Amino acid sequence: MKDATAMKRRGLPQAVDLLVIGGTGAGVSLALEAAGKGLSVFLTSSRPYLGEDICGDLRLWPQSADRPRGVLSRRVFGTGDRPVTPMTVKRELEQSLVEAGIPFILNAFPARPLRGEEGLVKGCQLATRSGYLEVRTRLVVDATTEGTLARICGYTGRPDWRGRQRVRHVTLCNGEGETAAGADAVTRLEGFEGRIGDRDYALSARLYELDVDFGGGSPAELARAEAEIVDRCWVPGEYLHQERICPAVGRPSGEAATRFEELVRHEGMVLLAPDAYAEPGEREALQEPVSCLEAGPLLLPQIEAIIGTRPLPTGKEVRLPQEEAPLLGRCDVLVLGGGTAGAPAAIAASRQGARVMIVEATDQLGGVGTIGQICRYWCGNRVGFTSEIDASVASLETDARLRTNVGQWSATAKSRWFEHSCHEGGVITFHRSLSPGVLRKGDRITGLEVATPHGFGRIDCGCLVDASGCADVPAAAGAPVVETGASHLAVQGTGLAALEPGRDYHNTDHNFCDDTDVIDTTAFLVSTKLKFPDHFDAGQLVDTRERRQIIGDLQLGPADFLSERRYPDTICVASSNFDSHGFTVHPVFMCQPPDKKRLWADVPFRALLPRGLERVLTTGLGVSAHRDALPVIRMQADVQNQGYAAGCAAARSALTDTDLRNLSMRDLQEHLQEVGILPERCLSEEDSFPVPLEDLEWAATEALETLKGLAMLFANPERSCPILLEALRTATPPRRLSLARVLALMGDASGLAEIRAAVAENGWDEGWNYRGMGQFGMSLSEMDVLLIALGQIGEVADWSLICEKAESLPDDPAFSHCRAVVEASEALHARHPDSSAAVALSRLHRRLPGGAAQTSLTAVQEALTPDPNENGVRNRSLRELHLARGLYRCGDPGGVGRSLLETYARDQRAVFARHAQRVLRESQPVEAP
């Protein structure tokens, strides 16, 4: 996404008449009105939804039921005066843009203005997890709640967050709830009652007012004040609270109010942020939910007048300021991501005496176990810091069942414990913020560039914990990382929780989504609101199970866990099974599929250290590990302990100015053993690899059909091959076939005759279609594996076998059979080009239904089903894209493969788009005669 061409190819504009920064009601209303008059419009929101002023501020109660309403306000609020659910607001605002054909993205912050030669704002550089995006425009409208871009440009109007200020804070509680004792005033609001499925729910609502000291009003002091507000207003049973700081009442300024015309004259932009207007009447008009949804028709004449005088700038007319990003704060330990690993890392570092800051994209700490709504452990080693979390959270529960059932919890109680523990330890949390770039000196990471609701800047640190789950920091720093690319399309399935009061466990798997891709996450967040339309609210955190990983000082693989490898630098012991949520690619699992058996896996410190970088640890799903190994170490209980260990190490590095690789591992391990994370054995162990020769002989002769034996062999192929060849020399069928298959997957052709005969003599067996949730066991059939093995070692004469198998597939073949034919053809064609491969694949492709690509948000929505664990849509796309790739790599007569890949290169789903793009970068094989 750093590539502007790739951005445009997948549907994002680079130049428009009107750029609306902010997904407030007024911003959406203006975008719709402008598009209706023929202007090209692009809208961005820093939140994972639209309507941040209504939903984020919990202004869900219309105050103008007695007057006529416009189309948009009627669509959201109807004609009554009853409160509406956040889901209704978000879904209707987003769908209004979709239906109007207005492009928009979520989770994007203004970073720097783009200025023309005369100094006026001619566009904006946007900060996203994809990096920086640039959009040029004839006019920028700042419709953020805080006036973020205007403040970046130097605007210093209201609210002036300094000294003591009175603020409002709205909370929703299950049932009647309690009233917080920490507020100065409270007003009961009309509550919510409803039914979702077979569940009734009731929520009470309270509006608090309280005085808070904001000190000097710096971003760090605003973050501290926000934590204080949440802390003072929290009560047991809270379900939802207002996301941000809001003034209690509008207050006139002693200075002249900054007006529409003044900003246009001085900066060339328009400000619609409700908080930035000083006069009470102006502010209330933009804050009252019905009024803000009707702002577009009133504002458009002035907008059109400005746009009419300005040409659309070209790239040459726009320049970026070169000055350094302003300093937002300094700390010893900076944690990117306050989720399952990040919140524990911050708490651990603060307990070590470090000054700690967190940059967190959502408004809650805890990640998938809180705002992600997966509030139950699957597996995991529930010791050490995790046991402290569990006991502490249980004491906050109002439900007696949750107080005693350790291993299950309510999202708000767990989030509350993380928030309170961080606040109590002096941790500063920048909520609703993200980092698009890193700061480094040589190989040392020194801080982050950070986009926050209150402006863009940098945070300097002594050591950094990358708990983004996606290795965001190493990737931005240019360190080597691993992500789904040209080699395969295997990725664990993704879910997104809808929110139901009274229910805290929503574990779904209905799509693929790449957290780091702004187009993908926008499409996923928006479309899922249609999937669960009747729920109270929509999830804000994409529950991905597999993300981008670092290449660390040591890379973990399935063989390490299956063979119970030990290390001298173990920092936690994880426990789970191969809960794959999809298909596997490691050769061990081609020979013997993973089962449900629970394993115990040591995690070494070196797997958290990105190769080539210092003063940064990567924890959680971003650790250095083969994708098929991740399920064993990604359970919440284990990631919490891993995050604690990372926080301890980061604090020790920062406080002693010691590089992470030079820390005393013994001292760190002793502390982790004291808090119960490590067993005592880890203090005296050495690396158990390489596997002793006698163990390899045992694996080849007695354990060839077991996962442990295969793991040992594939972990040491150079030493294993001679042993396997000797065993093949004396073996009898069917053992010869098993040995031949293992050798073939290692690239040795000594058993080619056995593989060839097995393929020729047997027909197709039962294949496998994609399955996410609950997938254990095989994802390739016996014949699939034999075909792949044949492709690895086959000769020209074997084309007839592979093509015959492709031709004999039924009209609706299983995905695994298509995958096997494609992988076999690709491997053999790379060594022995032959036109028959493309002919066979082309005939197979013509027999399949096409059109599975999703190149627009509308196409994503058209493919939706109500199934929370949908598999069919993904299966069709996987099958079609595999065949497109196989055609392209095998000569591609007629260009069918290229055409399909070019279509998928525009797919909204980043996994498919990236795979297609990277395959297209390869040199296309020449069709053989």
pLDDT in tens, 655-683: 999 999 999 999 999 999 999 999 999 99
pLDDT in tens, 312-344: 887 767 766 656 889 999 999 999 999 999 999
The pLDDT, as a whole number, for residue 756 is 97
Helix (H) or strand (E) holding 357: strand 356-359
The pLDDT, as a whole number, for residue 251 is 44
Among residues 378, 358, 297, 223, which one has the least CA distance to residue 643? 358
Q: What is the mean pLDDT of the chain?
A: 91
Work out the pLDDT band at 272, boundaries 50, 70, 90: confident
**883 and 844 in contact (C-beta within 8 Å)?**
yes
Q: Give one DSSP letter per residue of 554-590, joined into a string.
A: S-B-HHHHHTT---TTEEEEEEE----SS---SHHHH
Alpha carbon distances (Å) from 379 to 576, 599, 635: 5, 10, 6
User: Of the ranges 105-109, 263-267, 735-739, 846-850, which one carries the lowest mean pLDDT score?
Assistant: 263-267
Work out the pLDDT band at 926, boundaries 50, 70, 90: low
Strand partners, 599: 576
**67 and 302 in contact (C-beta within 8 Å)?**
no
Alpha carbon distances (Å) from 654 to 352, 448, 547, 918: 11, 16, 28, 39
The pLDDT, as a whole number, for residue 10 is 76
Section 491-516 average pLDDT: 90
CA distance 509 to 195: 24
Section 453-474 average pLDDT: 95
On the question of pLDDT at 130 being above 90, the answer is: no
The pLDDT, as a whole number, for residue 282 is 52
Work out the pLDDT band at 67, boundaries 50, 70, 90: low
The DSSP secondary-structure symbol of 374 reads: B
Alpha carbon distances (Å) from 380 to 156, 370, 641: 50, 17, 10
CA distance 722 to 716: 11
Please tell me whether the overall predicted TM-score, pTM, comes out greater than 0.85 for this model: yes
Three-state secondary structure call for residue 515 = coil
CA distance 552 to 560: 15
Work out the pLDDT band at 287, boundaries 50, 70, 90: low
Which regions of 185-339 does DSSP assign to beta strands (E)? 185-196, 199-213, 238-241, 246-247, 269-271, 327-336
Among residues 376, 398, 390, 498, which one has the least CA distance to residue 174? 398
pLDDT in tens, 584-598: 999 999 999 998 889
Helix, strand, coil percentages in the chain from 3-state DSSP, rounded to 5 = 40, 20, 40
